[in-house]
């Protein structure tokens, strides 16, 4: 075998391994990259839309008193089961005006409780306290309770639920 033929063979073998390396490297990059890109884009592409959820007949809500209502979150996963349920506090005032606050504390999301005698919402986790209009009275919450848009349709109170985290502002 001449020196020239040997060099040519080495060159083609080197090219062959270079192509294999590039191909395998590209496949590995795709296998790693596709799930990463998918997980980044999924919340944007599959953004759940807010949904109007009926929570009870208007007349069933006591005047000037907060009543807790349960409903399914706007973005339940198929396997979420009971954890897809969330809640809100609804108050009907004169002239059928409705106020709806998320049950989740604006600090770290613990469920707040309406204490009727004190006219305050209390958070059991870190002592957050809110006035009846949802503004902060004491404790660590950086803002007031989140509110939900609400409407009355065919005598039913409906809440426009949003995926958690709730982005509606007071």
Binding site for ligand FES (CB under 6 A): 105, 107-108, 110, 123, 125-126, 128, 139-141
Is residue 141 helix, strand or coil?
A: coil
Structure tokens at 30: 């795709």
Check if the beta carbon of residue 100 is closer than 8 Å to that of residue 150.
yes
Burial label, 150 (beta-carbon count in 10 A; 0-12, 13-18, 19+): middle
Cα 163 to Cα 78: distance, rounded to the nearest angstrom: 14
Question: Residue 14 or residue 126: which is nearer to ligand FES going by CB?
Answer: 126
CB 127 → ligand FES: shortest distance, Å? Answer: 6
Nearest approach in angstroms of CB 135 to ligand FES is 14
In the complex, minimum distance from the CB of residue 112 to ligand FES, in angstroms, rounded to a whole number: 7
By beta-carbon proximity to ligand FES, the closer residue of 105 and 166 is 105
What's the CA gap between 160 and 162, in Å, rounded? 7
Nearest distance from C-beta of residue 70 to ligand FES, angstroms: 20
Task: Tell me whether residue 110 or residue 120 sits nearer to ligand FES (CB atom).
Answer: 110
Beta-sheet strand order (sheet of 113-115) = 113-115, 120-122, 129-131, 136-138
Output the smallest distance, CB 69 to ligand FES, in A: 20
Nearer to ligand FES by Cβ, of 98 and 125: the residue is 125
d(CA 80, CA 83): 5
Nearer to ligand FES, 56 or 140 (CB): 140
């Amino acid at each position: 075998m001449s020196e020239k033929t040997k060099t040519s063979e080495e060159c083609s073998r080197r090219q062959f391994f270079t192509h294999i390396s590039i191909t395998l490297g590209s496949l590995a990059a795709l296998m790693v990259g596709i799930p990463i890109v998918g997980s980044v884009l999924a919340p944007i592409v599959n953004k759940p839309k807010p949904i109007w959820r009926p929570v009870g007949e208007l007349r069933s809500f006591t005047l000037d008193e907060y009543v807790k209502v349960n409903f399914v979150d706007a973005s339940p996963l198929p396997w979420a089961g009971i954890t897809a349920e969330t809640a809100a506090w609804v108050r009907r005032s004169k002239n059928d005006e409705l106020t709806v606050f998320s049950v989740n504390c604006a600090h770290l999301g613990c469920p707040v409780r309406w204490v009727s005698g004190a006219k305050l919402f209390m958070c059991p986790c870190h002592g957050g306290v809110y006035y009846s209009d949802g503004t902060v009275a004491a404790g660590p919450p950086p803002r007031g309770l989140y509110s939900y848009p609400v409407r009355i349709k065919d005598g039913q109170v409906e809440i426009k639920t949003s995926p958690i985290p709730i982005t509606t502002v007071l």
